[in-house]
Structure 1
């Protein structure tokens, strides 16, 4: 008896097999697979914004001297936006070049420097005078550098360090001058640095501490297991609680005594006391004079006499009156 050989089914192509398995997956399984693969691994080409930007600005051709002057005149006299656009785009590579020089100061993001430099370039286009015979790129470089320097100083640390002209001078020259002295065989002491940079020795020491010191949050604990935070060591500039209570008590005593003295007054003196001395919106001396048919000067004299009498009476009634209540009655 001859056994009949069983034919094997043809092997399914690998691609077709993967397609079939994919079709058998549920929507939930598909979602799990998508979230399991990081976004970076799914990209076919690495995404580099800086390289893309550099490739794009290469498409803008440089201007000749004659084209630059012509466009600058159109911007200045006619406010031509298209001419301004060409001036800006043709100098974008200049911004990148300057940003690369400043990148040694600011190593976080070159694109941030380029962005700030582009703002400076826009300012240069609006301020440039083509009739002075100055090349636009030379003029624009100062605006570009100024905006980059301002950005670096404002973002170097949380606490600003270049708020004065002297601080800005030290910020950019201190490290270079220190390296120069070391190369010459000198010890970069603060006194010598101050003489070389024409600043005070104290300013050199302060800037060295700012550049070299780190930043600590006021809410950070003192020590590894400390319960106190650094902010608790900052002195309170407000009035202490005991002083506030003392002031309130003195004010209460004074008002009670003034109420007692009021009972001694009558007529014009009582009216001046209520509507002139103690009133939040006092009447004028002229109004009192017109009311009682006396001169303004006479009304002032009556008021001065009442105040002198009040002070004399309070000194007798309240111990240490001048010390505790001198600020209340002047």
Structure 2
């Protein structure tokens, strides 16, 4: 199979639309045609770039936005998009390829926006663009069926699974009534969202065909085992933690306690508990927490412009 070399930026990272011939005989054969399997097989035909090759291409593209260079970077990272899309599959009850398509658009945006002089590894930077486009697609399409449109539903979308796992780790049964109290939403919303999130999930261990011995994940080469990538993530984590500590130096003693006990803690204190500690209402603690979140996001956006500002989530 031959690939077309892109002549302008109108190309897209979909194998059959970029010069791959369609295997019609596969569709007509005995083995059921699996579009996802076909896509994974096709993207594996694109070569992976070494870190040095990727850095060189990104630097060249930064200085001269050549679509042919962008094409090489994007196609070498299509596997990354698939892995991220699979992380969001429980939130999308339709075709996983929908999420992959949106993630690919995010990847292309990452190439256009990436600044190689910032000292951030491209795969880390690109992952935020990929996730942003996938999440926007999910939320926009759920709006059509009245899911995720209200503030309470958006909060549930992001926090329900995390809160359930937190309660289970404490040995507490995550019943809807308790979850609704912890997340400050109605019990009806909890039940509805929980049902919808559990309706559809593609297992990474599922075979690509009924009699196949390989699964979807085995078709994706491991891109996580690089010592350089591990070091990069460790450095970013250290940098982020350092900026958080700098931010805390400007807080009052009470703000520091609320910041630590409500925002940083793995098991946050309740609004009631902190209210009793400081002899104020639950609502006052909530107001102080929201103020701290806004201050933290603004500070981090200024200090770390290449990283996302939504590290801190609102605690129930």
With the shorter chain as reference, the TM-score category is: 0.3 to 0.5
Find the structure with the greater CA-based Rg. 1
TM-score (norm 2): 0.47
Relative contact order, CA 8 A, sep 6+: which one is greater?
A: 2
TM-score (norm 1): 0.45
